[in-house]
Amino acid sequence: MFGHISGVEVGATFTSKAALAEAGVHILRQAGIHGDHELGAFSICLSKGYEDNVDRGNTITYVGSGGQDDDGKQISDQSPDTPANKALFISSTTRRPVRVVRGANDDNAYSPGHGYRYDGLYVVDEAKMVDGKKGFKMCTFTLKRMVRRRYQ
């Protein structure tokens, strides 16, 4: 489902990924990208997963999934063809809204102090492959906050 979840206000906080899933905001309890490889991404969860993520509040540079070992160390290139990454590439074309959730992260001024927070709708403005900080090819997505009008 694209867009806001009925009954969940922007700024709503959740104690866990299970609570996010129960509310329907981000239903995957592990993965950071929820979507469909043909329709696009429904939601992302921004947390400590990738060092190449850059959060500027209204603009996010979000790194796709894959290429990490069990300890979270980047050991190989990401693929634009995995279902999760493909969903975000599709969203850059369709421009459908993506729900953004931020998880607690001491290194990010825009993150909540604990738990998770629903931070509204963003559009994938750009999607490309870039060389990451460790030299591996990374699926990189620029998301921009959608302006919410009073009557929406």
Which token pair is 136? 């591996």
Q: What is the pLDDT of residue 28?
A: 83
H or E element at residue 81: none
- Alpha-carbon torsion angle 24, 28, 30, 32, nearest 10: -90
- The 8-class DSSP code of residue 89 comes to H
Alpha-helix residue ranges (DSSP H) falling in the chain: 17-23, 83-94
Non-local (6+) Cβ contacts of 134 within 8 A are 51, 74
pLDDT score at 49: 66
Count of Cβ atoms closer than 10 Å to residue 113 Cβ = 9
Average pLDDT across each block of 10 residues of the chain; the chain has 152 residues. List them in order. 92 94 89 91 86 87 88 88 95 96 88 92 96 91 83 46
Considering the entire predicted model, what is its pTM? 0.90
